[in-house]
Structure 1
Amino acid sequence: MDNQQFTDDARRLVKDYANGMGKRVRVTDDMVYVVWSCKTLQNNKAMLSTSRPDGMYYEVTYNGDKHEMYLDAYSHVENVEYDVGVIE
């Protein structure tokens, strides 16, 4: 599977999953964006999110050996800042 086909499929999976969660705001194609994507050998992985303010992000993986796609959904829980000092 080429990278464009993978990201198109990943965005569709995220949209369908997000809309199946029963939220009031429907996710459209232009609301899903790819944060990061990588292709290694026959496998693909991408991190995606939506512009809906629900704190969700998604990981989609394509296993090229088994021709299977997997979707993991995560909820943003907390953002903690740590002061690491000035790097010289």
Structure 2
Amino acid sequence: MQEKAKQIIVDYFNSHNIKNHKITQNDVYVVWFCKTLQNWKVLATTNIADGMYYEITHNGDKNETYVDVYKKWENFCVNN
């Protein structure tokens, strides 16, 4: 499951990267993974400093996998 998600990210990155930089599964890091029954979700990023974040969700009932790609705009602290 995680390997499938990593390959989806590699394929997406390599087909959309405008700087012609290619990555492999070794460049993808799974941040969070969850499996419930036949469904699973992976949150991942790469070692490329482009601020991209990937959410891969598999719907086992339909045997479909969905990909959400996000761009991190900023990170800041809010004091409580």
TM range (shorter): over 0.9
Alignment RMSD, CA only?
0.9
Amino acid at match of 2:18: K
Gaps of 5+ in 2: none
| Other-structure match for 2:54 | 58
Q: Max radius of gyration: which structure?
A: 1
2-side partners of 1:83 and 1:22: how far apart? 37
* Matched residues, number: 79
Gaps of 5+ in 1: 1-5
| Other-structure match for 2:12 | 17
Regions of 4+ moved over 3 Å: none
Amino acid at match of 1:9: K
2-side partners of 1:22 and 1:82: how far apart? 33
TM-score by length of 2: 0.92
